[in-house]
């Protein structure tokens, strides 16, 4: 079954969130093509993933000492109720990620990086060995497509004065590729200058914002129609 894991991390509701609007466009387009059976939506802001605790860390360290441990055996290695609780919170997130052919991530830029809600998910889902084949050590996400849709109040495109302030894109690129996603299966769509309509100092950038949003909508619609793993690694704007 074709499957899509849709993650939103914006603290704003859909009326105010550009990333939520764009991920909804992707998800709606995808479901028209594939149906809803393989679709899973997780709102990381409305239902926050708990921050990792000392028990999560201790269990992770113990598991990591044994190499790539099959997921069913991790629960057997928990040696306290706290570790059991941490694994019970973690396993469903890992299972969702492993089951998805495509992962769609809505990421507004907060203070030059990603929202805390997304970082909490990243920290928990990245459990030692969770995305490695325990028998061969192969990376299980090699064929997974990841589409990152970001919105930034200013403009951080290459060649702009604030290009070096974009810690969001390089961080997510490094994270997902290190997790095992093939570079050619990782795609970024950016909507720039999204605050131009409500910040007076940015008002003269409204045409740029409108053009960037229109381009983002076109890119999102095109990506939603592509088979998983079929695109290039180019950042789309």
Q: Which residues are annotated as a binding site?
A: 10, 109-112
Total length of the chain: 237
Q: Which residues are annotated as a binding site for FMN?
A: 10, 109-112
Q: Beta partners for 87?
A: none
* Sole residue written with tokens 């914006």: 10
Query: Which of 127, 129, 131 lies closest to 99, judged by CA?
Result: 131
């Amino acid at each position: 079954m074709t499957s899509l894991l849709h993650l939103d991390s914006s603290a704003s509701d859909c009326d105010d969130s550009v990333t939520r609007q764009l991920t909804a466009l992707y998800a709606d387009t995808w479901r028209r093509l594939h149906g809803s059976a393989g679709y899973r939506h997780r709102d990381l802001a409305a239902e926050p993933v708990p921050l990792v605790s000392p028990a999560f860390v201790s269990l992770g360290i113990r598991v990591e000492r044994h190499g790539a441990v099959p997921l069913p055996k991790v629960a057997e290695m928990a040696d306290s109720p706290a570790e059991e609780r941490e694994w019970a919170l973690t396993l469903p997130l890992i299972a969702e990620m492993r089951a998805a052919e495509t992962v769609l991530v809505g990421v507004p830029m907060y203070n030059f990086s990603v929202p805390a809600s997304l970082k909490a998910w990243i920290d928990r889902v990245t459990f030692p060995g969770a995305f490695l084949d325990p028998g061969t050590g192969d990376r299980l996400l090699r064929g997974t497509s990841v589409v990152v849709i970001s919105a930034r109040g200013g403009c951080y495109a290459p060649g702009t004065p604030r290009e070096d302030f974009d810690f969001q894109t390089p961080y997510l690129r490094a994270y997902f590729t290190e997790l095992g996603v093939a570079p050619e299966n990782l795609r970024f769509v950016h909507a720039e200058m999204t605050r131009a309509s409500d910040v007076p100092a940015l008002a003269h950038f409204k045409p740029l914002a409108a053009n960037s949003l229109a381009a983002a909508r076109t890119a999102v619609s095109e990506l939603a129609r592509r088979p998983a793993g079929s695109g290039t690694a180019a950042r789309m704007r």
